[in-house]
Amino acid sequence: MKTSTDTTPIYDAYWNFACERQNIFFARLRNQPFPWSANTILQEYRFTNPYRVTDRVSQYLIKSVIYSGGNYSPEDCLFRILLFKFFNRIETWHALDSALGDISYKSYDRAKYEMVLDRLLNENAKIYSAAYIMPSGKSSFGFKQKHRNNLCLIELMMKEHLTTKIAKLTSLKGLYDLLLAFPTIGKFLAFQYAIDINYSELCDFNEMSFVVAGPGAQRGIDKCFSNRKHDYAYIIRFVAENQESEFAKRRLQFKTLFGRSLQLIDCQNLFCEIDKYARVAFPEANSKIRRTRIKQRFKPNSEKIDYFFPPKWGLFIKT
Which tens digits make up the pLDDT trace of 272-290?
A: 999 999 999 998 876 565 6
Q: What is the pLDDT of residue 223?
A: 95
Which amino acid is present at 228?
R
Q: What is the pLDDT of residue 232?
A: 97
Q: What is the pLDDT of residue 182?
A: 98
Q: What is the mean pLDDT of residues 297-318?
A: 85
Kind and range of the H or E run holding 273: helix 264-281
* Dist CA 223 CA 93 (whole Å): 37
CB 7, CB 260: distance < 8 Å: no
- Which SS3 state, helix, strand or coil, does residue 103 take? coil
pLDDT tens digit sequence for 251-265: 999 999 999 999 999
User: What residues does 260 pair with on adjacent strands?
Assistant: 257
Which residue in 155, 220, 193, 191 sits closest to 17, CA to CA? 220
* Dist CA 187 CA 115 (whole Å): 31
pLDDT tens digit sequence for 181-235: 999 999 999 999 999 999 999 999 999 999 999 999 999 999 999 888 899 999 9
Which amino acid is present at 241?
E
Torsion on CA atoms 15, 20, 22, 25, rounded to nearest 10: -160
pTM: 0.94
CB 236, CB 268: distance < 8 Å: yes
Q: What is the pLDDT of residue 156?
A: 98
Q: Is 1 exposed, middle or buried (0-12, 13-18, 19+ CB in 10 A)?
A: exposed
CB 286, CB 279: distance < 8 Å: yes
* Dist CA 207 CA 198 (whole Å): 9
CB 80, CB 66: distance < 8 Å: yes
Torsion on CA atoms 115, 119, 125, 131, rounded to nearest 10: 10
pLDDT at residue 163 greater than cutoff 50: yes
Q: Is 200 exposed, middle or buried (0-12, 13-18, 19+ CB in 10 A)?
A: buried
pLDDT at residue 62 greater than cutoff 60: yes
CB 193, CB 86: distance < 8 Å: no
* Dist CA 85 CA 92 (whole Å): 11
pLDDT tens digit sequence for 9-61: 999 999 999 999 999 999 999 999 888 999 999 999 999 999 999 999 999 99
Q: What is the pLDDT of residue 60?
A: 97
User: Residue 210, Cα to own-chain centre: how many angstroms?
Assistant: 15
Residues 6+ apart with CB under 8 A from 125: 91, 95
What does the longest C-alpha to C-alpha distance in the chain come to?
58
Indicate the DSSP class of residue 66.
Answer: I
Q: What is the pLDDT of residue 158?
A: 98
